[in-house]
């Protein structure tokens, strides 16, 4: 079991349990091996900004290898893990999320997806062979990125955009500013004393990038927010991937696709491990609605580059409506 430094539970955010919802089984399911998944995918991006993917083609071996590396790393003594921190912006982080005072019942590794990245600072992850962890990350990220690109191409087709790679080319670009994150939510036995209330592992937020691809072990915790503000729990499934529409894709589709607010609640008994690839564009990329999607409409957003959006995101708190600053009034 992994032990975090002495928990001061009061400093974390607790929330009332969500109302039970009949939508529990309504997470859209996309079978990537079926060519007719296009319309389901469009509907999922418009209604939820979220869906689950099966028959994804990512080798199980890549997933389990990386997961065991992660478990091994998070089982190290805190002092050793801290040698791989702080996350400035890459490295190990514990309870503090981002630079503006957000906290959660989580520890994590934030990494760049650049295969050339120097893993020196992360030496304690690598153990005896510094190359093995790095290779496991590279194998996993490149397979997940391919899947994300395929999904983005199906989306473009569904939206009847002539250039099928209009979104995927941004992730494939050598300068793509993509991030990879491994989160560990340790069990929190004190939760039982919270009278049924829940403890926030990772607070509510939308992802700033284009698309996020999440895989977790079989421990629950992830919730997505519906348009009416209700939270629904996403049943975990270690054999599938969950896809989030990010803020940048919302802008590129002029609001037709919605970036999904999501959060993670801590579990009193089981550890949750999730691995998330955030596919982002190059820093210099202009993020604006695609002309073919405007159909005579005006852009809902002021023009900005990914660099500008990111800079503004890093000045925000997790729960802030980051796109709000870029909406036209
Ligand atoms: C949310 C999505 C990704 O996890 C992340 C996060 C980033 C961080 O943890 O450093 C941010 C958050 C995320 C958005 C607002 C800022 C930046 C924490 C935070 C308070 C890596 C990302 O790209 O944006």
Band the pLDDT of 25: cuts 50, 70, 90: low
Q: Which two tokens stand for residue 5?
A: 């430094």
Atom of ligand 1 minimally distant from the CA of 317: 20
Residue 24 pLDDT: 52
Has 227 been annotated as catalytic?
Answer: no
Residue 177, Cβ density class (10 Å: 0-12 exposed, 13-18 middle, ≥19 buried): buried
Q: Closest Cα to residue 156, out of 211, 113, 213, 225?
A: 211
Band the pLDDT of 6: cuts 50, 70, 90: very low
Range scoring the smallest mean pLDDT among 124-138, 183-197, 232-246, 300-314: 124-138
Measured from the Cβ of residue 69, the count of other Cβ atoms closer than 10 Å reads 22
Does residue 289 register a pLDDT over 50? yes
Looking at 50-206, which runs of residues are DSSP E strands? Answer: 50-54, 91-97, 102-112, 179-185, 198-205
Q: Which two tokens stand for residue 296?
A: 């005579």
Identified catalytic residue from 134, 181, 215, 272:
272
If you measure from the C-alpha of residue 323 to the centroid of ligand 1, how many angstroms do you get, rounded to a whole number? 14
Between 94 and 133, whose confidence is greater? 94
Does residue 19 register a pLDDT over 70? no
If you measure from the C-alpha of residue 143 to the centroid of ligand 1, how many angstroms do you get, rounded to a whole number? 23
Atom of ligand 1 minimally distant from the CA of 207: 2
Does residue 7 register a pLDDT over 80? no
Does residue 316 register a pLDDT over 70? yes
Does residue 31 register a pLDDT over 70? yes
If you measure from the C-alpha of residue 314 to the centroid of ligand 1, how many angstroms do you get, rounded to a whole number? 7
Does residue 180 register a pLDDT over 70? yes
DSSP annotation of 282 reads B
Indicate which residue's Cα is closest to atom 16 of ligand 1: 314
Contact 234, 223 (CB under 8 A): yes
Q: Which two tokens stand for residue 153?
A: 């191409």
Residue 10 pLDDT: 65
Residue 36 pLDDT: 82
Share of the chain above pLDDT 70, in %: 91
Is residue 88 helix, strand or coil? coil
Average pLDDT over residues 279-303: 95
pLDDT tens digit string along 129-166? 667 888 999 999 999 999 999 999 999 999 999 999 99
pLDDT tens digit string along 34-70? 978 999 999 999 999 999 999 999 999 999 999 999 9
Does residue 23 register a pLDDT over 90? no
Does residue 126 register a pLDDT over 70? no
Residue 206 pLDDT: 98
Burial readout 112-150 (b: 16 or more C-beta within 10 A, e: otherwise): bbbeebebebbebbbeeeeeebbebbbbbbebbbbbbbe
| One-character DSSP codes across 184-249 | EE---GGGGGGTT-EEEEEEEE--SSSEEEEEE-S---EEEE-TTS-EEE----TTSEEEEE-HHH
Indicate which residue's Cα is closest to atom 18 of ligand 1: 98
Does residue 228 register a pLDDT over 50? yes
Between 119 and 87, whose confidence is greater? 87
If you measure from the C-alpha of residue 186 to the centroid of ligand 1, how many angstroms do you get, rounded to a whole number? 20
Q: Which two tokens stand for residue 49?
A: 């900004």
Indicate which residue's Cα is closest to atom 19 of ligand 1: 98
DSSP annotation of 25 reads G
The residues lining ligand 1, judged by C-beta closer than 6 Å to any ligand atom, are 97-98, 100, 102, 110, 179, 181, 205, 207-208, 278, 313-314, 316-318
Contact 198, 266 (CB under 8 A): yes
Q: Closest Cα to residue 252, out of 329, 306, 204, 198?
A: 306
* ipTM exceeding 0.95, yes/no: yes
Helix or strand holding residue 126 (H, E)? helix 123-126
Average pLDDT over residues 316-327: 98
């Amino acid at each position: 079991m992994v032990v975090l430094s002495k928990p001061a539970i009061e400093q974390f955010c607790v929330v009332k349990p969500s109302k039970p919802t009949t939508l529990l089984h309504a997470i859209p399911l996309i079978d990537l091996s079926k060519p007719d998944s296009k319309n389901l995918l469009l509907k999922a991006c418009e209604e939820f900004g979220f869906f689950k993917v099966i028959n994804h083609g990512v080798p199980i071996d890549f997933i389990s290898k990386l997961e065991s590396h992660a478990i091994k790393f998070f089982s190290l003594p805190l002092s050793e893990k801290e040698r791989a921190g702080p996350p400035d912006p890459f490295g190990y982080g514990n309870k503090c999320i981002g630079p503006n005072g957000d906290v959660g019942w989580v520890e994590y590794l934030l990494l760049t997806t650049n295969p050339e990245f120097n893993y020196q600072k992360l030496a304690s992850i690598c153990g005896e062979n510094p190359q093995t962890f790095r290779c496991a990350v590279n194998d996993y990220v490149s397979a997940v990125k391919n899947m994300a690109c395929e999904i983005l191409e199906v989306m473009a087709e569904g939206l009847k955009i002539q250039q099928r790679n209009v979104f995927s080319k941004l992730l494939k670009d050598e300068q793509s500013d993509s991030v990879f994150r491994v989160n560990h939510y340790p069990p929190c036995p004190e939760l039982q004393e919270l009278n049924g209330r829940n403890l926030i592992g990772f607070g509510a937020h939308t992802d700033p990038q284009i698309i996020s691809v999440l895989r977790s072990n079989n421990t629950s915790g992830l919730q997505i927010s519906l348009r009416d503000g209700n939270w629904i729990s996403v049943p975990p499934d270690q054999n599938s991937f969950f896809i989030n529409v990010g803020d940048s894709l919302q802008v590129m589709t002029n609001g037709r696709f919605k970036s999904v607010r999501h959060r993670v609640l801590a579990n009193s008994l089981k550890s949750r491990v999730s691995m998330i690839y955030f596919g982002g564009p190059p820093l210099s990329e202009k993020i604006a609605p695609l002309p073919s999607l405007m159909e005579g409409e005006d852009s809902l957003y002021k023009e900005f580059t990914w660099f500008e959006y990111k800079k503004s995101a890093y000045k925000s708190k997790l729960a802030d409506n980051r796109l709000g600053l870029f909406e036209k009034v």
